[in-house]
Amino acid sequence: MALLGTLVNGVAIITGSLFGLVLRNISERMKATVMQGIGLAVLILGVGMGLKSEQFLIVISSIAIGSAIGEWWNLEEKLNKLGIWIEKRVGAKEKGSIARGFVTATLVYVVGAMAIVGALDSGLRHDHTVLFTKAMLDGISAIIFTSALGIGVMLSAIPVILYQGFIALFATQIQAFVPEVLMDAIILEITAVGGIMIVAIGLNMLEVVKVRVANMLPSLLIAILLVTIVSLF
């Protein structure tokens, strides 16, 4: 079943969020320290991913072009508006609380090599090992995220399931028209591009700078396009 890993990942996020809601009486000081610790870990993870590129010019070009497209489409604002719309429907007391949790968790769980590679493994080889590992990590982080950012984190399970599920289902058909060598190159550069975005997420979590990471999401598609074009020459 191509979607098994994705569904387990979604359930892990929801389960972790439920535990996080129970543990919301954690002191603000402890929450801040834990979030800073996670932010640092996310930062290091992103650096490691970013260094995997073998064609860094593709990574730079993908980030530049993809960010320009994302700014033009204003994806971050649209994602925030979606979170605020959800807030109004559930009657959140603190304005922006659900939106922040939803956006932060969605970016952390969706942007990255494990989401893409894991979903591809699920679709291509029905091997869910990567997504099962990601589910464990996401579930643990969901406890902390929810205790600090609220119920919006739980709602991030929806885009995670849709995003990874689409990749897994697409991957079941991809072998028919994409050579294995090209697929390996695409995964490598997507990993590096995703790593740079993960670094930006870490910086946001540490409140070092405010990076509109959601506006960089088209960079992942641009990376696929550029790797494909380069492979033709």
Below-70 pLDDT ranges, the chain: 26, 83-84, 86-97, 112-113, 175
Q: What is the pLDDT of residue 220?
A: 87
Identity of residue 225 = L
Joined together, the tokens standing for residue 37 give 């610790």
Categorise residue 92: left if φ over 0, alpha if ψ from -120 to 50, beta otherwise: beta
Which positions ≥6 away from 64 have C-beta within 8 Å?
none
Q: Do 100 and 153 touch, CB atoms closer than 8 A?
A: no
Q: What is the pLDDT of residue 90?
A: 56
Looking up tokens 């007391």, which residue turns up?
Answer: 93
Looking at residue 127, what DSSP letter applies? -
The Cα-based distances of 48 to 67, 113, 197, 203, 227 in angstroms read: 21, 11, 12, 15, 20
Question: What is the per-residue pLDDT across 32-75, written as a single tens digit (0 to 9) for each?
Answer: 887 788 789 889 888 988 898 999 999 999 999 999 999 999 98
C-alpha to C-alpha distance for 33 and 151, rounded to whole angstroms: 20
Q: What is the pLDDT of residue 83?
A: 66
Q: What is the pLDDT of residue 165?
A: 95
C-alpha to C-alpha distance for 221 and 218, rounded to whole angstroms: 5
Joined together, the tokens standing for residue 189 give 């550069």
The Cα-based distances of 83 to 96, 126, 146, 153 in angstroms read: 8, 33, 15, 10
In this structure, the chain runs to a length of 233
